[in-house]
Chain A
Amino acid sequence: DIQMTQSPSSLSASVGDRVTITCRASHTIDTYLQWYQQKAGKAPRLLIYGASTLQRGVPSRFSGSGSGTEFTLTITSLQPEDFATYFCQQSYSSPPAPSFGGGTKVEI
Chain B
Amino acid sequence: QVTLRESGPALVKPTQTLALTCTFSGFSLSTSGVSVGWVRQSPGKALEWLALIDGDDNEFYNSSLRTRLTVSKDTSKNQVVLKMTNMDPVDTGTYYCARISGYELMDAFDIWGQGTMVTVSS
Contact = CB atoms under 8 A, between A and B. Distances in A.
Contacts, number: 67
Interface residues of B, number: 26
Interface string A48-60: 0110000100000
A31 B98 CA distance: 21
B109 A103 contact: no
Given A44-B109, A91-B107, A103 B46 contact: yes
B11 interface: no
Contacts of B105: 49-50
21 contacts: A31-B106, A32-B107, A43-B96, A44-B47, A44-B112, A46-B111, A49-B105, A49-B108, A49-B110, A50-B104, A50-B105, A55-B110, A89-B108, A95-B60, A96-B60, A97-B63, A99-B49, A100-B49, A101-B46, A102-B46, A103-B46
Interface of B: 35, 37, 39, 46-49, 52, 60, 62-63, 96, 98, 100, 104-115
